[in-house]
Amino acid sequence: MMALHPLYKWSKDLKETDQKMPVLFIGHGSPMNGIEDNEFSQKWHRLGKEIPKPKAVLVISAHWLTQGTHVTAMENPKTIHDFGGFPQALFEVQYPAKGSPELALETQKIITSTSVGLDHDWGLDHGTWTIVRHMYPDADIPVLQLSIDYKKPPQYHFDLAKELASLRKKGVLIIGSGNMVHNLRMVAWDKLNEPEFGYDWAQEINTVFKNKISSGDAQSMINYQKLGSAAQLAIPTPDHYYPLLYTLGLQEKKDAVSFFNDKAVGGSLTMTSVQFG
């Protein structure tokens, strides 16, 4: 019985309420957004003030790809600097948010379609901390990550997300962190500072994605390979796209849909982000 105590405490402390937390898909872009004061990071900062203060944050990051599904379960997740070639100042950033073993157990419990591992090794990668440190600079809210089982198809991730729905009513902010359009091989590095420069195909598919999301056509987003050559260029690998499917799986019919940071960067990336609810 003692082993169940943390889970009981979490469930007791986080009773369902009539107010659901929103769900966010955030285009995180370059790790430098984690320390730069720019239009993207400023919007993340405003978001932290605009939405209800969560009791915890659960992030599905494009940068934690695993075999099987896992959730961070440690008390003090480390800040992971999973990149190279950036200024030393970026490597020196620490985001000392607490974890929540209790929420990890709750997450493990409510996902019944697969076995969820409790992870004590990962931490918070840059798909998480570069965003959350702007939203909650005091690091006073527990932050966890849910991994992406990279061997599973798109439908799996969409369906798995639905099992997390009860957390929205328990004060948990769920964030998918990736990029809708993410083709690093085609980045125009010489035009990174050219505002809103996007290749025609990137602008085209970004508009298609927004229209599908706005109309509630999740199935087309799941079957993105059928959306033509522009979609294939936008998603050469699905790592940065799968977090979007988690947020679509959590969308409910009554949720308002709004877009923000809707801009192209370097031709083949978009920062387009979505709030549901």
What average pLDDT score do residues 113-122 get?
Answer: 97
Q: Model-level pTM?
A: 0.92
Please report which helix (H) or strand (E) contains residue 108, including its range: helix 101-110
Closest of 179, 189, 10 to residue 107, by C-alpha: 10
Q: What percent of the chain has pLDDT over 70?
A: 94
What pLDDT, on a 0 to 100 scale, did the predictor assign at position 4?
Answer: 47
What pLDDT, on a 0 to 100 scale, did the predictor assign at position 106?
Answer: 97
Q: φ, ψ for residue 134 (rounded to 5)?
A: -80, -35
Closest of 114, 122, 125 to residue 62, by C-alpha: 125
Q: At residue 144, does pLDDT exceed 80?
A: yes
What average pLDDT score do residues 111-128 get?
Answer: 97
Closest of 257, 239, 238, 240 to residue 248, by C-alpha: 257
Tokens describing residue 140: 């006073």
Q: What percent of the chain has pLDDT over 90?
A: 88
Tokens describing residue 233: 């260029």
Cα separation, 164 vs 250, whole angstroms: 7
What average pLDDT score do residues 233-251 get?
Answer: 97
What pLDDT, on a 0 to 100 scale, did the predictor assign at position 1?
Answer: 38
Tell me the sheet residues that pair with 276: 23, 257
Q: At residue 84, does pLDDT exceed 70?
A: yes
Among 17-31, 58-72, 249-263, the range scoring the smallest mean pLDDT is 17-31
Cα separation, 202 vs 234, whole angstroms: 6
Q: At residue 2, does pLDDT exceed 80?
A: no
What pLDDT, on a 0 to 100 scale, did the predictor assign at position 196?
Answer: 84
Tell me the sheet residues that pair with 124: 79
